[in-house]
Amino acid sequence: MNRLVIVCGPSGVGKGTVVAKVCERMGAHLSVSYTSREPREGELDGREYHFITPEEFEEMIGRNEFVEWAKFPPEDQQGDYYGTAKAEVERSGTTFLEIEIQGARRMQLLYPNATIVFIVPPSMEALRRRLEGRGDVSPEKMESRLARATVEMLEGPLLTGHVIVNEDGEEGLQRAVDQLVSLL
């Protein structure tokens, strides 16, 4: 039986870390999204993302290979594409998708039986620290992401009744993982 679990939340909230630990514990499959952004230090193609060029991404859009895709941030003409390939959600067993809220809205329409979980930071200041800690965000992009996160924090709980706070530190992360496993 297929079970689709969609985990969304603002950029920098720790979705990927929570989902990776839950997948490991449950033996579930994590859908690997496609992106046109450059890999961050330590990221590997096929593990965190399938890293492709914007042109390759647009070709996949043209071939209708995605169930959802978006440019992030959406207001930025030079933003990066992110998308979920159809083949990823058609797998058997439990599949997790870690995506932005606009993709989650689209998936909710396509897969109404999917479980959607919204991950939030303990505070906006904590989110700022996490984004700064990445070291790959310019001051302009930082403010753009924080502004977008403010909007998403209002929209996310309306999308789903499942909201989990990813607190700072290892104990906070473990609580978030335990809550998601318990929910499922």
| Gap between the Cα atoms of 9 and 25, Å rounded | 21
pLDDT of residue 73: 65
pLDDT in tens, 142-172: 888 899 899 998 888 888 889 999 998 899 9
- If one counts every other C-beta atom within 10 angstroms of the C-beta of residue 173, the result is 16
pLDDT of residue 156: 86
Residue 100 and residue 70 in contact, taking contact as beta carbons nearer than 8 Å: yes
User: What is the Cβ-side half-sphere exposure of residue 84, based on CA atoms within 13 angstroms?
Assistant: 24
**What value does the mean pLDDT take over residues 52-70?**
94
Give the domains, in start order, of the chain with CATH numbers.
Answer: 2-183 (3.40.50.300)
pLDDT in tens, 19-47: 999 999 998 988 999 999 999 888 999 98
Residue 80 and residue 118 in contact, taking contact as beta carbons nearer than 8 Å: no
Local structure of 18: helix, strand or coil = helix
Percent of the chain past pLDDT 70, that is, above it, reads 97
Q: At what angle do helices 124-134 and 139-159 cross, to 10 degrees?
A: 130
The mean predicted confidence, pLDDT, of the chain is 89
pLDDT of residue 165: 94
pLDDT of residue 166: 94
Residue 90 and residue 71 in contact, taking contact as beta carbons nearer than 8 Å: no
DSSP conformational letter for 12: T
Strand 34-35, strand 80-85: pairing: antiparallel
**Model confidence at 77: pLDDT above 80:** no
Is residue 170 classed exposed, middle or buried when 0-12, 13-18 and 19+ CB atoms within 10 A define those classes? exposed
| Gap between the Cα atoms of 181 and 36, Å rounded | 31
Torsion of CA 133, 179, 118, 168, to 10 degrees: -20
